[in-house]
Amino acid sequence: MATWEPSSNPTFGIVIAVYDDWGPLDQCLHSLAEQTNAPTFEVTVVDDGSPEPAPESIRGWSRAFPLTIIRQPHAGVAAARNRGIQDCRGALLLFVDADCKAQPDCLAVLAATVADSPQYRCFQLHLAGNSLGLVGRAEQLRLITLQNHLLQPNGAIRYLNTAGFAIRRSTVNQATGLFDPAARRGEDTLLLVSLLQRGEMPLYVAAATVQHAVPLSLVQYLRKSVRSAYLEAGTYRIIGSKGVRIRVTNRERLQMLASMWKTSRQPEIGRSAWFVLALRQALPRLVSFAYRFTRPKSETTPKAS
């Protein structure tokens, strides 16, 4: 287990926004405590209005590394992450989700990559699924395909997922934060659009792995995809107003499905995972279609000037 001594300038400030995710968060913090050859780091957990405050099992991790727990009224994940930015001190901001586990050498690899890549200000970590169970295999298949498809020849990636994303603090406005609170969901995609408008993308750090576990049943997994699609619809409307294309085309989607089919031949994934993902992709399309016809007229009718 990692040990620590007080430091006024830790290398990493790790920000984790949570809402009643204490069980998965405990496993996440355990993975941080098990880091090998890790640079100095602190962890800031922002409790976004959970029904109950953090239990003692979570607070006890302060014996392994500097840990701050902030409790705020429910304001959404974007606002929670911005609050974490304000309260942590690390030179590099690292965002992970409560249901993620960092592999033992993750922080060491990421720190070395950041030091060797001064031309980049942000970094996308390699995300992997948990292949235990059908949902875990489907998530693994999805992540493999997305990261392979969106990786650029220069090593950057047209993808941003705050399950494992780092950025240099010096490039972030401390007062306004990094994420747009107007995005109820998909705030990381909106951030990617801002980067693209400036002509930049995150550097992909393939050797710094974060496992994104999905502790859901199949029904819960599909239900979550529908709910996420509904919440993200407003975010994509904001993105559309910026004139940046971020969604994959129908042709690209078919190419990705074909790639997923080939990958699903691997015994540790299986064809059933492909069918789950095909259904997962179809459901949000239906929700997006329905959203265009059910949103208030005030959102679709131009205002008179």
pLDDT of residue 295: 63
The residue with greater pLDDT, 284 or 273, is 273
pLDDT in tens, 279-302: 988 886 776 666 566 665 554 444
Q: Is the pLDDT of residue 247 over 80?
A: no
Q: In percent, how much of the chain has pLDDT > 70?
A: 91
265-269: average pLDDT: 93
Task: Tell me the per-residue pLDDT of 7-30, one tens digit each, with 9 for 90 and over.
Answer: 568 999 999 999 999 999 999 999
How far is it, in rounded angstroms, from Cα 286 to Cα 226?
A: 9
Q: Which of 75, 4, 69, 20 is nearest to 43 (CA)?
A: 69
Confidence bin at 175 (pLDDT 50/70/90): confident
The residue ranges of every structural domain in the chain are 12-294
Q: 3-state SS of the chain: helix, strand, coil percent to 5?
A: 45, 20, 35
Structure tokens at 160: 């941003």
pLDDT at 57: 95
**Rounded mean pLDDT of 37-62?**
96
Q: What is the pLDDT of residues 99-135, one digit of tens each?
A: 999 999 999 999 999 999 999 999 999 999 988 899 9
Look at residue 202 in the predicted model and tell me its pLDDT: 98
Q: How many CB atoms lie within 10 A of CB 245?
A: 10
Q: Is the pLDDT of residue 36 over 90?
A: yes
Distant-in-sequence, close-in-space partners of 254: CB < 8 Å, separation ≥ 6? none
Q: What is the mean pLDDT of the chain?
A: 89
The pLDDT tens digits for 209-241 are 999 988 789 999 998 888 888 788 888 888 888
70-84 pLDDT, tens per residue?
999 999 999 999 999
CA distance linking residue 303 with residue 117, whole number of Å: 47
And the tokens for 49?
A: 């209005």
Phi, psi at residue 96, to the nearest 5°? Answer: -135, 160
pLDDT at 292: 63
**CATH number, span 12-294:** 3.90.550.10
Q: Give the global pTM.
A: 0.88
The gap from C-alpha 118 to its chain's centroid, in whole angstroms, comes to 23
Q: Give the relative orientation of helices 134-150 and 250-263 as an angle to the nearest 10 degrees.
A: 120
| Residue 181 backbone dihedrals phi, psi, to 5 degrees | -65, -15
